[in-house]
Chain A
């Protein structure tokens, strides 16, 4: 099915509700089209396209709920899906944490949909691949990359009169460039809502240069080093910290935000006072849908302000129990930075390690948010303001909390994986062993 307009979606949702007889009914209707191309060894490997549309009905009697879905849209099918949801609701156990459907909400608009992305054809994807493969071949480099794009709509309506609708488009592009002798590797990532912003050739060139510069890395001893984390290297640790800011976990004593004696760290300074992290679905560079899956508006929300825990996220049940406002989990995040470019930050560093990205990051200890993982695709030694030589990759064991307490400087934020992240200069970042991986 095509991407439905607001009115087309509203008509289907209203029709579904007109067939309902439960105490409460919530209906969602989502759909979209997506495509991708994958290449490796300087040639295309796989490519594909998918389309899917689905309608879900949740019916509730008291605290009993049932759900049914369908992907046919004639009247008989819509009646059937409602009837089945209502039958299931009568059979389901009572959920003591059931929350009634929301009243109508006000949502502001955020520009998340671009026709340029919806219009991508197989030939456009092939051109993106070509813009990596051709310059790679010319530089004795092997390209492996991936472009994935999607465009679709989401909508929701309930028996209290709530209606939400949005369109969304997005693409993710990554490419790895490896030297043919296997001693150097570079990587770059780009993501946009608008396909016309993707300059795959420029991005590919950055990865090629990293591959060339990172050849024949030298081993240096693991230990504590000053590091400059490029935005793509910083994003995962920051994101993992934010995903763990759930109020219920903190209140229950099983979070890095839990404190001795049962309280939480909300309102306390946990990292350097220059750290400001917030979510903003209206941000021009990282727009996001302005309503959450349960129909609450997504607002600009501060998580860390001047190093202090400003908010945790509360689902509707926990908020009610604690007498707090519900706060949806972060849709995206923006970390404020400075104006310095990556080059300026390197110039200001006497000795340090430049990290392109971190890889295979896993929780070691949820109590301290200790993570382990490795550097990858371009790790360099900096001396007296200059990149001196490539170094072998390291394994790290580090917590984003310790990292953000050891903050030296921040550069200009860039979009990474739907977030705005500055390059970060961190002292005493803990590398625990060396890896031979290129």
Chain B
């Protein structure tokens, strides 16, 4: 974390709202009525940008007029620490001039402000063209005319009264405290991206995108031993409205060891109660014996492993070296794809990318360069078959169209290739989690996200989790602690030997996938069913200081 981000995050948690900054946008009043940008006005402004760019010599231009609404509710125990309503509104203009990209953004959303920014973008492109050795080549995209798309939601979270949100969080906190938790930090994040995109290709696309993420940490402290343990929520961020929090029974999944897991709807209070009990249990659970284990990985855990070991290495900009100075490059080099025989995983491993899955964080109508969203294969029967590519990269892998996974996290960030949803297809045969555990002699069942770290070419990784259960001779025997597994991507995915069926398929997600310089965040989901990996190296992470 950079110092600037730390200071801003610290300010939010402490209840100091007086920090307008770039991390979250500007705070706005709680009573701001929910409203949409006017598409007609947007079209006029967009045309101003496109004409100004063309007038200065741009061969291509696109403009994004963005209004980004964020609402955050921060609570701890019986207190509301902060409620932030943030709005960020402005325009980003991207151009190609002399074969080179240029970008400028402004919060002066007037015809004059926009025209000036468009001219600046062209000036930047021209200044850099002098040292450009690889002129930009775009694959074609149809002009879609004037179209719109909205996240299909049942209940707009921005229209739910603040008091209802506060009541939900505080009641979950109280339930956890009543079960003996010492501390609860519980937050709710809601995002609404109102984006108007237009380009010189003839698209005028108006999109209204919603995301929601409830998340808590329940902590148990044993003052006598000085130990503390924290159990995070088993929720997932989703591309949904407030209906995600209705906890409807049809979305609950009965897990092993009396656990309750959640699909497309989440019961916060029930999970908080379980969290308090489990945090206390963690204080005395036995420490893992290091060695090789069969790992049974639950979807809300496995999603992060998919993200890091499959999602990132198959980003074409990483493969080509564009991210070499920050996120890194990739072991999944072009020769491995060209040869069509790189065994990324065992032959039951089928991994697909998409920007269309219902309820997912990645779902949109069009990406941030006006390409219609779709689904495509990355790994087929264990073999590497494709990457994630956008308009200026698709020609490199002989594709005639972009995959539609270009994204910018704000009007003032330049769009670039970002990870779509990347998901592991469920097993074809009927097979439940209990069936899977029955087949394990010496293993660990891991749930939820924990510590995660992977190298810059995505070979070597280490993952923790939220909860760990020992499996002995086909049965869960109890909770264990201090577990982390270390492996190598190709070795790990080739040790995948069983995947539960589609009944167990659900989405993991993250709001804060980081990439790029200046660093941008992106929200992405990863679907999977519970999956088993045989003989994975587990280390013990307990230390004394």
Which of B39-47, B99-107, B340-348, B500-508 is the interface stretch? B99-107
Query: Closest CB of chain B to A391's CB: distance in Å?
Result: 14
Instruction: Type the 1/0 row for A243-262, where 1 means its CB is closer than 8 Å to any CB of B.
Output: 10000000011101011111
Q: Which residues of A contact B15 (CB under 8 A)?
A: 95, 97-98, 317
A133 within 8 A of B: yes
A414 within 8 A of B: no
B36 within 8 A of A: no
Is A28's CB under 8 angstroms from B18's CB? yes
Which of B76-84, B151-159, B258-266, B440-448 is the interface stretch? B76-84
* Complex CA–CA separation, A361 to B10 (angstroms): 19
Listed from nearest, the 4 A-B pairs whose CB atoms lie closest are: A260-B226, A435-B460, A144-B324, A437-B455
* Complex CA–CA separation, A128 to B95 (angstroms): 22
* Complex CA–CA separation, A415 to B292 (angstroms): 43
Task: Considering the complex, give the chain A residue whose CB is closest to the CB of B330.
Answer: A437
Is B107's CB under 8 angstroms from A252's CB? no
B130 within 8 A of A: yes
Is A253's CB under 8 angstroms from B221's CB? yes
Contact of A437 among B323, B460, B542 (CB under 8 A): B460
* Complex CA–CA separation, A133 to B134 (angstroms): 13
Is A133's CB under 8 angstroms from B414's CB? no
* Complex CA–CA separation, A437 to B324 (angstroms): 12
Which of B19-27, B190-198, B354-362 is the interface stretch? B19-27
Which of A225-233, A346-354, A370-378 is the interface stretch? A370-378
Is A252's CB under 8 angstroms from B100's CB? no
Q: Decide: A41 near B105, CB < 8 A? Known: A254-B219, A258-B226, A436-B457.
A: no
* Complex CA–CA separation, A126 to B125 (angstroms): 10
Instruction: Type the 1/0 row for B1-13, where 1 means its CB is closer than 8 Å to any CB of A.
Output: 1110011001100
Instruction: Type the 1/0 row for B310-329, where 1 means its CB is closer than 8 Å to any CB of A.
Output: 00000000001111111011
Q: Decide: A56 near B131, CB < 8 A? Known: A46-B416, A256-B545.
A: no
B451 within 8 A of A: yes
* Complex CA–CA separation, A290 to B311 (angstroms): 43
Query: Closest CB of chain B to A216's CB: distance in Å?
Result: 16
Query: Closest CB of chain A to B358's CB: distance in Å?
Result: 31
Query: Closest CB of chain B to A128's CB: distance in Å?
Result: 10
A202 within 8 A of B: no
Is B19's CB under 8 angstroms from A28's CB? yes
Is B79's CB under 8 angstroms from A85's CB? no
Q: Which residues of A contact B22 (CB under 8 A)?
A: 52
By size class, the interface of chain A is 35 or more
Name the residue among A93, A96, A417 with the largest chain B CB count within 10 angstroms: A93
Is A243's CB under 8 angstroms from B6's CB? yes
Q: Which residues of A contact B323 (CB under 8 A)?
A: 40, 144
* Complex CA–CA separation, A80 to B6 (angstroms): 32
| A343-368 interface with B by 8 A CB criterion | 359-368
* Complex CA–CA separation, A69 to B27 (angstroms): 6
Q: Which residues of A contact B517 (CB under 8 A)?
A: 36, 38, 146, 148, 174
Q: Which residues of B contact A331 (CB under 8 A)?
A: 3, 7
Task: Considering the complex, give the chain B residue whose CB is closest to the CB of A435.
Answer: B460
Query: Closest CB of chain A to B1's CB: distance in Å?
Result: 8
Query: Closest CB of chain A to B278's CB: distance in Å?
Result: 16
* Complex CA–CA separation, A202 to B541 (angstroms): 41
Instruction: Type the 1/0 row for A75-104, where 1 means its CB is closer than 8 Å to any CB of B.
Output: 000000000110110011101111000000
* Complex CA–CA separation, A338 to B459 (angstroms): 37
Is B228's CB under 8 angstroms from A87's CB? no
A30 within 8 A of B: yes
Is B29's CB under 8 angstroms from A66's CB? yes
Is A252's CB under 8 angstroms from B18's CB? no
Q: Give A contacts to B, CB under 8 Å.
A: 26, 28, 30, 36-56, 58, 65-69, 71, 84-85, 87-88, 91-93, 95-98, 122-123, 125-126, 129-130, 133, 142, 144-146, 148, 156, 174-176, 178, 187, 239, 243, 252-254, 256, 258-262, 270, 293-294, 315, 317, 329, 331-332, 359-370, 372-374, 376, 393, 395, 397, 399, 401-402, 417-418, 432-438
* Complex CA–CA separation, A68 to B2 (angstroms): 27
Query: Closest CB of chain B to A154's CB: distance in Å?
Result: 10
Contact of B133 among A43, A47, A370, A434 (CB under 8 A): A43
Q: Which residues of A contact B104 (CB under 8 A)?
A: 48-50
Q: Which residues of A contact B160 (CB under 8 A)?
A: none
B31 within 8 A of A: yes
Is B455's CB under 8 angstroms from A364's CB? no
Q: Which residues of B contact A253 (CB under 8 A)?
A: 182, 221, 223, 226, 228
Contact of A92 among B14, B83, B124, B325 (CB under 8 A): B83
Task: Considering the complex, give the chain A residue whose CB is closest to the CB of B482.
Answer: A365
Q: Can you list 17 A-B contacts with CB-CB less than 8 angstroms, sorted by A residue number?
A: A40-B322, A47-B102, A47-B125, A48-B121, A56-B18, A56-B27, A68-B27, A71-B107, A87-B31, A95-B80, A123-B127, A126-B131, A144-B325, A262-B223, A362-B452, A372-B451, A437-B457
Query: Closest CB of chain B to A290's CB: distance in Å?
Result: 14
Task: Considering the complex, give the chain B residue whose CB is closest to the CB of A333.
Answer: B3
Q: Decide: A54 near B26, CB < 8 A? Known: A142-B321, A359-B455.
A: yes
B339 within 8 A of A: no
Is B325's CB under 8 angstroms from A26's CB? no
Contact of A294 among B16, B183, B230, B484 (CB under 8 A): B16
Is A364's CB under 8 angstroms from B484's CB? yes
Is B7's CB under 8 angstroms from A293's CB? yes
* Complex CA–CA separation, A332 to B121 (angstroms): 34
Q: Kindly list 19 other residue pairs between chains A and B, CB separation below 8 angstroms, not including A46-B416, A126-B130, A436-B455.
A: A38-B325, A40-B324, A41-B320, A43-B132, A43-B133, A49-B120, A50-B104, A51-B106, A56-B18, A65-B17, A69-B28, A126-B127, A359-B328, A359-B455, A362-B451, A372-B453, A374-B453, A433-B460, A436-B331
Is B18's CB under 8 angstroms from A156's CB? yes
Contact of B28 among A40, A68, A176, A432 (CB under 8 A): A68
Is A122's CB under 8 angstroms from B127's CB? yes
Q: Which residues of A contact B230 (CB under 8 A)?
A: 254, 366
B488 within 8 A of A: yes
Q: Which residues of B contact A360 (CB under 8 A)?
A: 453-456
Q: Which residues of A contact B541 (CB under 8 A)?
A: 364-365, 370, 397
Contact of B21 among A30, A84, A417 (CB under 8 A): A30
Query: Closest CB of chain A to B74's CB: distance in Å?
Result: 11
Is A364's CB under 8 angstroms from B226's CB? no
* Complex CA–CA separation, A52 to B75 (angstroms): 30
Q: Which residues of A contact B458 (CB under 8 A)?
A: 437
Q: Decide: A146 near B29, CB < 8 A? Known: A67-B17, A432-B486.
A: no
Query: Closest CB of chain A to B182's CB: distance in Å?
Result: 7
B138 within 8 A of A: no
Is B79's CB under 8 angstroms from A365's CB? no
* Complex CA–CA separation, A435 to B490 (angstroms): 13
Is B26's CB under 8 angstroms from A48's CB? no
Is A252's CB under 8 angstroms from B221's CB? yes
Q: Which residues of A contact B100 (CB under 8 A)?
A: 44
Contact of B543 among A97, A146, A174, A399 (CB under 8 A): A399
Contact of B131 among A44, A256, A402, A417 (CB under 8 A): A44
Name the residue among A56, A331, A372 with the largest chain B CB count within 10 angstroms: A372
Task: Considering the complex, give the chain B residue whose CB is closest to the CB of A318.
Answer: B14
* Complex CA–CA separation, A192 to B105 (angstroms): 25
Task: Considering the complex, give the chain B residue whose CB is closest to the CB of A242.
Answer: B6
* Complex CA–CA separation, A129 to B100 (angstroms): 14
Q: Decide: A50 near B539, CB < 8 A? Known: A30-B21, A372-B462.
A: no
Q: Which residues of A contact B107 (CB under 8 A)?
A: 51-53, 71
Query: Closest CB of chain B to A249's CB: distance in Å?
Result: 9
Instruction: Type the 1/0 row for B109-126, where 1 means its CB is closer than 8 Å to any CB of A.
Output: 000000000001101110
Query: Closest CB of chain A to B452's CB: distance in Å?
Result: 6
Is B460's CB under 8 angstroms from A174's CB? no
Is B30's CB under 8 angstroms from A146's CB? no
